[in-house]
Amino acid sequence: MRLQSIEISVADVARASRFYADVLDFPPVVRMGDTAATFFLGDVHGGMVMLVRSATPITGSGPAIVFGADGGMEAAKARLEARGVRFTNTEHSPLGLTAYFNDTEGNRLAIFDGSMAARFREQARAPLAELQGRLGEAEACTWAALDGLSERQARHVPGDGAWTIIDHIGHVVDSLDSCGQLVNELAAGLQPARDRLWRKEYPSPSLALAREELGRAFTGAHAWMKELPPVETSTAMLPHGVFGPLNHREWVTFMLFHIAMHAGQVKEIRAAPGFPGS
């Protein structure tokens, strides 16, 4: 079935209509006196929103109605805030970023941005101590994923062209070291080289040496994160190949996401059929 319309209870149809038309930019369809009003949801192909006068008080306790953040989360929030909207909270999920607010009647609304770059930007606003704590969590997840691993298991090739766990360790080390360099340069207002490429192969003489390098890289990351300015002072940015331009704090939040992603991939390798015993 296709969504046809969303019915929203309101106390004052005229007041609510002005909000949905002037603030949310929903094109009006028809107004039925002071009992109801209908708007297109985005455009004529997107269904409709119907505002219906309620005989009972609006409590705002129902499910939130979530709309897309046109133009990205930052642009959408700025546009709505300029029109008087006050956001109540923002939540992260594996799917993206959701920012909540209320309409004039007390109904819970939200805008959603599924882009990873929006998540990095939002998370980068956290205090530096919180980012340092998240680095500790990412490190703990990584060591947990490697717990009890044997040399044979670390060199198991899960498929044609796929990385071994040794390769994943090497890539995390490379990411921590490389991010440390470019993050410090961006924080200082410098422009890092655009042609920096992460390596594709990570040969290591042994699992023990790979683990030793990983420990060194995490220790180094904790050290350089402590030296970052407590607030964003530089406007320098470096484009990521997928997520676009990121400043130094956004590169930190990308790095934290990246480390957690590889820890998850190591767990998947170990749980897959054909993974050797110790």
DSSP summary character for residue 19? I
pLDDT at 166: 94
Per-residue pLDDT, 115: 78
Q: Which CATH architecture has domain 5-114?
A: Roll (3.10)
Q: Where are the beta strands (DSSP E) in the chain?
A: 5-10, 28-32, 36-40, 48-53, 65-68, 89-93, 96-102, 108-113, 238-240, 244-246
pLDDT given at position 1: 63
The encoded tokens of residue 256 equal 């934290």
* Burial (0-12, 13-18, 19+ Cβ within 10 Å), 277: exposed
- What pLDDT, on the 0 to 100 scale, is given for residue 116? 80
Structure tokens at 3: 């969504």
Taking alpha carbons only, the member of 167, 196, 169 closest to residue 183 is 196
| Cβ atoms < 10 Å from Cβ of 180 | 20
By DSSP bridging, strand 96-102 and strand 36-40 are unpaired
Domain spanning 127-271, CATH class: mainly alpha
Which residues of the chain are under the pLDDT cut of 70?
1, 42-46, 94-95, 194-200, 242
Q: Give the pTM.
A: 0.65
Helix H or strand E encompassing 15: helix 13-18
One fold for 5-114 and 127-271: no
DSSP line for 77-127 = HHHHHTTT----EEEEETTEEEEEEE-TTS-EEEEEE--HHHHHHHHTTS-
Q: What pLDDT is stored for residue 268 in this prediction?
A: 93
Number of H helices, E strands in the chain: 8, 10
Q: Give the pLDDT confidence of 202-247 residue by residue, as tens digits.
A: 778 899 999 999 999 999 999 999 999 988 778 898 887 767 788 9
pLDDT of the residue at 45: 53
Task: Using DSSP bridges, classify how beta strands 65-68 and 48-53 pair: parallel, antiparallel or unpaired.
Answer: unpaired
- 248-271 and 128-146 helices cross at what angle (nearest 10)? 20
Rounded mean pLDDT of the chain?
A: 88
Query: What are phi and psi for residue 41, nearest 5 degrees?
Result: -90, 85
The structural domains of the chain, with segments of one domain joined by +, span 5-114, 127-271
Residue type, 187: A
Q: Residue 271: its pLDDT value, please? A: 94
